[in-house]
Amino acid sequence: MDIRPGITRRYSLIIAATGLLILLLTVSASFMVVWTGAGDVKKSLKENTAIIYAETHHAMLKNLAEYLRHNLFNFLYHLDMERINRMINDMRKGMPVKSFIVTDSSGRALTDGTKENISFGMQLDIDFKAVRLSPVRIEKIADGSRVVFLIGTNDYTAGYGEIIFSEEPLKKALKMQDSAVLQIWDGFKGSFIKIALAVTAILAFITFILGILFSRTLSVPILKLTEATRKIAAGDMSHRVEIETADEIGELAGSFNTMTDRLQKEMELRGEKERLLMNQSKLAAMGEMISAIAHNWRQPLNAMGLIIQGIKDTYEFGGLTKNYIDESVEKSMKQLQFMSRTIDVFRNFFRHGRQKSSFDVKLAIGEVLSILSAQLKGNNISYRLTCRAHNRTSEDFSEIVQCDEMTITGYKTELEQAIFNILNNAADAIVGRMCGRMPDKDGKGLIDIDVSRESNKVVIRISDNGGGIPEKIIGRIFEPYFSTREEGKGTGIGLYMAKVIIEDNMGGRIYAENVENGAMFTIELSLTPSEEGSNCER
Amino acid sequence: MIMTVAIRLFLIFISALILYVLPASAEERPLSLGLISNNPENRIKEYMPLMNNVAGRLKEFRIKDARVVVAKDVGEMMKKIERGEVDVVFESAFSTIEMQEKAGMMPTMLVWRKGVREYRTLFFVRKESTVKSLSDLKGRTIVFEDPNSTSAYAIPKAELKRRGFTVLPLNEKMEIKDAVRYVFAGEELNQAFFVIQKRADAGAFNNNDWDELSKKISSELRIIHETQPMPRYIASFHPRLPEKLRKAIEVIFEEMDKNPEGKDSLKRASRITKIERLADADLKAMKYVKEIMEFIE
């Protein structure tokens, strides 16, 4: 089966694009959630770290101050400034100490632990009363904490210590934490993007493949249906679609097959009807033909009667010579040949041939005219056939010559039958008019046949001066069993069969219209590509 | 007879040869530097590069290598000197004089230990103190560093005694009128604080320690007396050391700060910046030290 992958491709792409879009939206949403979450975690981490730091820092400062106030006491009591300095410097090494001053009992700075000792002599701002009540006091100051503690015992104050602790370590810790979180986040982001890209690529591929498979489940049955439709359209009514699934597609295939069954039956029924009508039509035509043959034979039979009578008379008057007999025989043979030819045409006309063949439309019309010519002549109806390809008009069927431009491929006999019916109708109309039903000014009948080539069609226009078709029935003239003739004279199937032959069997078109003094039937037939060029011969 | 003379000449030759060879073999020995310290490991580590440098230039004197010998005090060092275990000793002026007097050591060179050539002991009081001179210290309290200190205990105490003061510990129960009482603060800085915080009326330590004081602190103090300068560190030689060798060592010592290698080895040995010959002024200073030493217990 020739499966065109258009639907598959389209749906695959749509499904893949939809899947990819959903995936991208999911990934983006996840990324947004993670991003927001990471921001919250960072903020929370920072706040918690600050709180934990503050709590532990406060406890640590308190413990440290307690330790110092006891350990510095002996050194300060003995004014061992070297040891105090060493202690201060040890503190500076391990702690974020901005300044550490030890004062005497009046709050006057003794040492800040440095060699320069620039704080020496400075009076520190110490709330002595408060420190005596609570020997370790911790205050929050800008960028750090201030710890003031009493160095001494309950009974003796050797001095005071003041330490300014910097918050720099907290800031550094937070900065490092931020940096670490950022680093982790960057790493995570990089991995996330890589994984997302890889997963997207894999899923895009999987989605595309699934899309193809899914689309094929949809498109393949449709393509099979399309193929079946094409075959049925081409006339293969035996073709059926295989029902593979029990879903909507299977239902569609079943309906299609049912429809095809019915169509096949309808077609068969219609064919039967058509054959019946064709036979009826042929029988009717046969009657017409017999009448025409009778017309055709009347003249030669009269002529032969006269020849025979002449032989007898000549013999009786003693004038019968060999020469006279030869002439009479020759004349008789001519009449017999004419009659024989009439029979041949008649026989050919009724030969059932369903084989398409190339034939010249003008010659086919000529053959019909040869059958009808005697009848037409007997009814005082003349005819003329004009070939527009060469602007040549023939007023007798024997003058009609072959013309390649008017050659088509189709069913010649059927076309002849259709034209016979039209010409017969035209003749009837003219005869009717002559009999007074439709009086004419000059009383002479004329059938005008015009054959032309219009683009890729051969157009046959048959007009008469039979008075035309009443407008109220012009739309029904191609209906079966529709006739305006008297009961018993017309079957009403001639024009119907003409339409079936032209439009259904030969793919052409036929329509009727009224023209001046009569009606005109136009037949349009498609050319075959081989009928190109012009070659008219006598 | 001739045979006897020949034998005698041969024996004399052999004896001369033995005499020539034996002393030469005995002289091939290390050059030893003597130091007094409680931390021999560090001293040896610090001074070996210097002594290797010196010994390396004395091959012609049969000096095969160098050695650093550390004694814990002057008494032990004296014994080492007596046993001939040291050739050169680096020590303070006081110890050098003692070694000179008791063991015949010959001080000839001045060592700039820690970049200091000489020092004086300063006596200081609070800026607003009524004490103007040493004589005002009668019946007052002075703060010294600790009993082992030379410049912040031995010298100032001796100087006071030389001037006729009775110098007693603060907790000494003996009642002597106008006696100068003393306490120990443990460190020079503490001495300054003792004075500032009025635990003592005066203090004494050397001029280098004074320079080390913070300006803020020294500005609250006032110097009332300075002793004569005293050499910081002295190199003295063993009396049995051949003169030629001693002089060669002196020349090497003298030139050491003039080349990078020697400068580096000096620096590693207690940050010595140079070694120079004792000048007349130094000898005079030594004389002052000797005087002072008479008042040191």
Say yes or no for a CB contact (<8 Å) between A82 and B199: no
Instruction: Assess contact for B256 and B275: CB atoms under 8 A.
Output: yes
Taking alpha carbons only, the member of B194, B237, B176 closest to residue B33 is: B237
Residues from chain A contacting residue B216 (CB–CB below 8 Å): 116-118, 120-121
Cβ-based contacts of B220 with chain A (< 8 Å): 121
Q: What is the CA radius of gyration of chain B?
A: 25
CB A423 within 8 A of CB A462: yes
Q: Which residues contact A19 (CB under 8 A, 6 or more apart)?
A: A203, A204, A207, A210, A211
Inter-chain residue contact B199 with A79, CB threshold 8 Å: yes
Asked if pLDDT for residue A130 goes beyond 50, the answer is yes
With a cut of 70, which residues of chain B have pLDDT below it?
1-27
CA distance A174 to chain B (A): 38
Residues A331-355, mean pLDDT to the nearest whole number = 73
Q: Do A79 and B220 touch (CB under 8 A)?
A: no
pLDDT of residue A513: 94
Look at residue B22 in the predicted model and tell me its pLDDT. 44
Helical packing angle, A168-233 and A248-316, nearest 10°? 20
In angstroms, the separation between the Cα of residue B129 and the nearest Cα of chain A is 18
d(Cα A425, Cα A65) in Å, to the nearest integer? 134
- Nearest-neighbour CA in chain B from A149: distance (Å): 21
Kindly report the nearest CA distance between residue B194 and chain A, in angstroms: 7
Considering only CB atoms, which chain A residues are within 8 Å of B215?
Answer: 116
Angle B74-82/B93-103 helices, nearest 10 degrees?
A: 40
Q: Which helix (H) or strand (E) holds B222?
A: strand B221-226
Contact B217 A120 (CB under 8 A): yes
Give how far the C-alpha of residue A48 lies from the chain's centroid of Cα atoms, to the nearest Å: 62
Residues whose CB falls within 8 Å of the CB of residue A405, separated by 6 or more in sequence, listed in order: A389, A453, A531, A533, A534, A536
Alpha-carbon span A290 to A263, nearest angstrom: 38
CA distance B102 to B79: 11
Q: Which residue among A78, A80, A117 places its CB closest to the CB of B214? A: A117
Closest approach of A86 to chain B, Cα-based (Å): 12
Does pLDDT of A5 surpass 60? no
Cα B217 versus chain centre, distance:
30
pLDDT of residue B274: 95
Which of A135-144, A231-240, A302-311 is most confident? A135-144
pLDDT confidence of residue A243: 78
User: What share of chain A has pLDDT > 90, as a percent?
Assistant: 21
Q: Please state, in angstroms and rounded to a whole number, the distance separating the CA atoms of residues A472 and A410.
A: 33
pLDDT at A488 over 70: no
Nearest CA in chain B to A116: B214
Question: Which pLDDT score, from 0 to 100, does residue A397 have?
Answer: 85
Least confident span in A164-168, A323-327, A339-343, B258-262: A339-343
Please give the Cα distance from A76 to A82 (Å, whole number).
Answer: 10
* Residue A85 near chain B (CB below 8 Å): yes
Say yes or no to pLDDT of A3 above 50.
no
**A115/B212 Cβ within 8 A:** yes
| CB contacts, 8 Å: A118 with chain B | 214, 216
Give the model's pLDDT for residue A39. 78
A212 band by pLDDT with thresholds 50, 70 and 90: confident
Predicted pLDDT of residue A151: 94
Q: CB B214 to CB A118 under 8 A?
A: yes
Residue of B214, B218, B220, B221 best to disrupt the A interface, most CBs of A under 10 A: B214
Mean pLDDT calculated for residue range A319-337: 86
pLDDT over 70, % of chain A: 89
Instruction: Kindly state the average pLDDT of the residues A516-529.
Output: 85
* Residue in A with minimal Cα distance to B214: A116
- Nearest-CB residue to B214 (from A79, A80, A115): A115
Q: Which of A139, A144, A140 is nearest to A169 (CA)?
A: A144
Q: A352 or A206: which carries more pLDDT confidence?
A: A206
Q: What is the pLDDT of residue A530?
A: 37
Q: Is the pLDDT of residue A227 over 60?
A: yes
Which pLDDT belongs to residue B280? 94
Who among A79, A104, A116 is closest to B194 (CB)? A79
Closest listed residue to residue A531, CA positions, set A364, A368, A412, A357: A357
Q: Per residue in A289-308, pLDDT tens?
A: 676 677 667 767 887 888 88
> What's residue A483's pLDDT?
79
Whether the ipTM is more than 0.85: the answer is no
> What does the pLDDT read at residue B202?
97
What's chain A's average pLDDT?
82
Interface of B with A (CB under 8 A): 185-187, 189-190, 192-194, 197, 199, 212, 214-217, 220
- Mean pLDDT of the A410-436 span: 84
pLDDT band at residue A327 using 50, 70 and 90 as cut-offs: confident
Q: What whole-number distance in Å separates Cα of residue B197 and Cα of residue B126? A: 9
Neighbours of B176 (CB within 10 A): 13
A243 interfaces chain B, CB cutoff of 8 Å? no
HSE-CB of B127 using CA atoms within 13 angstroms: 6
Q: Which residues of A touch B209 (CB under 8 A)?
A: none
pLDDT of residue A522: 95
Nearest chain A residue to B183 by CA: give it: A78
The burial of A484, by beta-carbon neighbours within 10 Å (0-12 exposed, 13-18 middle, 19 or more buried), is given as middle
Does A103 lie at the interface with B, CB-CB under 8 angstroms?
A: no
Contacts of A79 in chain B (CB under 8 A): 185, 190, 193-194, 197, 199
Spatial CA neighbour of A112 closest among A95, A126, A97: A97
Q: Do B216 and A85 make contact, defined as CB atoms within 8 angstroms?
A: no
Question: pLDDT tens digits for A145-169?
Answer: 899 999 988 788 999 999 998 887 7
**According to the model, what pLDDT value does residue B19 have?**
46
The DSSP string of A383-403 is EEEEETTTTEEESSGGG--B-
B188: closest chain A residue by CA? A82
Contacts of residue A22, Cβ cutoff 8 Å, sequence gap at least 6: none
Contact across the interface for A104 and B197, Cβ inside 8 Å: yes
The residue among A368 and A216 whose pLDDT is bigger is: A368
Tell me how close the Cα of B269 comes to any Cα of chain A, in angstroms: 25
On the question of pLDDT at A120 being above 90, the answer is yes
Distance from the Cα of B208 to chain A's closest Cα (Å) equals 14
**Integer Cα distance of A506 and A415 in angstroms:** 9
Cβ contacts from A onto B, under 8 A: 41
Query: Which of B193, B215, B216 is nearest residue A81 as measured by Cβ atoms?
Result: B193
Of B157, B139, B161, B137, whose CA–CA distance to B148 is shortest?
B157
Q: For residue A82, which residues of chain B lie inside 8 Å, CB to CB? A: 186-187, 189-190
Asked if B216 lies within 8 A of A117 by C-beta distance, the reply is: yes
Give pLDDT, residue A334. Answer: 80
Q: What is the pLDDT of residue A290?
A: 73
B62: its two tokens: 């049969």
Chain A residues with CB under 8 Å of B197 CB are 79, 104, 110
Smallest Cα distance from A117 to chain B, Å: 6
DSSP string, A87-105: HHHHHHHHS-EEEEEEE-T
Helices (H) and strands (E) in chain A, counts: 9, 13
* pLDDT on residue B239: 95
Residue A216, pLDDT > 80, answer no
Q: Which residues contact A255 (CB under 8 A, 6 or more apart)?
A: none
> Please, which residues have CB within 8 angstroms of residue A253's CB and are 6 or more apart in sequence?
A221, A224, A225, A241, A242, A243, A244
**Which residue from B minimizes the CA distance to A119?**
B216
User: pLDDT value at position B173?
Assistant: 84
Return the bridge partners of B69, or none. Answer: B34
Q: What is the 3-state secondary structure (H, E, C) of A37-49?
A: HHHHHHHHHHHHH
Q: Are A413 and A353 in contact (CB under 8 A)?
A: yes
Name chain A contacts of B221, Cβ cutoff 8 Å: none
Any alpha helices (H) in A351-441, and if so which ranges? 361-378, 412-434
Residues 6 or more apart in contact with residue A478 via CB below 8 angstroms: A495, A496, A498, A499, A510, A512
Paired with B77 in beta bridges are none
Q: What is the mean pLDDT of residues A492-517?
A: 87
State whether B220 and A121 contact (CB < 8 Å). yes
